[in-house]
Amino acid sequence: MRQRILWTDYLAHNKTLGSKLQLIDEELFKVLMEASSEPKILYDAAIHPIKSGGKRLRPLLVLLACEAVTGDFMKALSVAVAIEIIHTSSLIHDDLIDQDSERRGAPTVHMKYDNNMAILSGDILISKAMQMISDNSSIKVRRAIAQACIEMCEGECLDVSFKKSPETVTEENYLKMVGKKTGALVRAAAECGGIIGGGTRHQVRSLAKYGEFLGLSLQLRDDVHEILTTETGPEASLNNCLLGQGSNLVLIHSFRNSDKSQQNLLRSLFTSNVDCHRLRDATNVFENSMSIQHVERLSERFEKEAKEAIIGMNFRNQRILEDLAGYVARN
């Protein structure tokens, strides 16, 4: 099993990315602090998940895509921050839907405040992002982001339905859901960066495909990571241990590639309130069905497709984009 490289360590070896990330964070907090108003609790709740960190992959991709077509990435900074704000809003609502208690080691918004405040803080973030986009963007950028937001909602709805009966979900349907819920905004980030940078239609289309495959690779790697790190989690119901409560391709693949007795075991584990130590029983099934390896290979396949999408484009930062795809797929 390949050892995970921490995002902070990766940035330490990529000074260009590190400097851009610092710029994004500075602008992100500046925008949100300036937007803060009354009632104070609403804005405190909205800023709370941003304070707990994150990779900022989507805004970083906006700047990189703009730079790729020799554009001035500073002109893309406002849209990059708006996209990160939209992403944060989706996380607040996703945590509420899943009733997750923590994200990045901090209480989720609905746990720290309440359900109503989680809904409202997510909504205020979306509204702020749309304000920023309408003030500083072309119609093409606005359309790309609006389409991504629509697809994210559609993907979330599919995800909710999948969690009710993971054994009935096919890999094809799962990937369609991921393409919407995760891939759409990553695609839009790369697409918008290319548009703002003045890229040709061909260049923008290439960057959009790169982002789409990068998003798929990212989610599948997260699926594997969730499974592999569950055993060290606190005691709770197995549904809560396996983040996503069944909407995870490792689990879905295992259901589809196990015998009846193994399927019954998984079904019993995921429909009863058992503690996390029982995950070892499920892990044996995952190993027998080679499901973890399958999802890892699939993530690496999308890494390859992301790189192929930009082959021959001679982007200004071609090497950085290729290296980023490799990091996402293997960490």
User: Smallest Cα–Cα separation from 17: which of 71, 62, 53, 81?
Assistant: 62
- Name which of 197-211, 230-244, 258-272 the model is least confident about: 230-244
pLDDT at 315: 96
What's domain 7-330's superfamily in CATH?
Farnesyl Diphosphate Synthase (1.10.600.10)
pLDDT in tens, 198-235: 999 999 999 999 999 999 999 999 988 887 776 444 44
State the maximum Cα–Cα separation within the chain, in Å, rounded to a whole number. 59
Does 275 score more than 60 pLDDT?
no
CB 62 within 8 A of CB 27: no
**Phi, psi at 103, each rounded to 5°:** -145, 125
* Other CB atoms within 10 A of residue 217 CB: 28
Tokens standing for residue 238: 């197995």
CB 190 within 8 A of CB 210: yes
Tokens standing for residue 303: 């890494």
Of all residues in the chain, what percent carry a pLDDT higher than 70?
A: 89
Which residue type is seen at 91? L
pLDDT in tens, 79-132: 999 999 999 999 999 999 988 888 888 899 999 999 999 999 999 999 999 999
Neighbouring residues of 98: CB distance < 8 A, sequence distance ≥ 6: 243, 244, 245
CB 171 within 8 A of CB 275: no
Grouping H, G, I as helix, E, B as strand and the rest as coil, residue 71 is coil
pTM of the model: 0.91
Helix (H) or strand (E) holding 107: strand 106-107
Residue 318 burial by Cβ neighbours in a 10 Å radius (0-12, 13-18, 19+) = middle
- Name which of 64-73, 171-180, 233-242, 320-329 the model is least confident about: 233-242
Grouping H, G, I as helix, E, B as strand and the rest as coil, residue 103 is strand
What CA–CA distance (Å, rounded) separates 90 from 53? 15
> What number is the average pLDDT over the span 24-46?
89
Of all residues in the chain, what percent carry a pLDDT higher than 90?
A: 61
pLDDT at 3: 57
What confidence tier does 257 reach under pLDDT thresholds 50, 70, 90?
confident
What CA–CA distance (Å, rounded) separates 249 from 243? 12
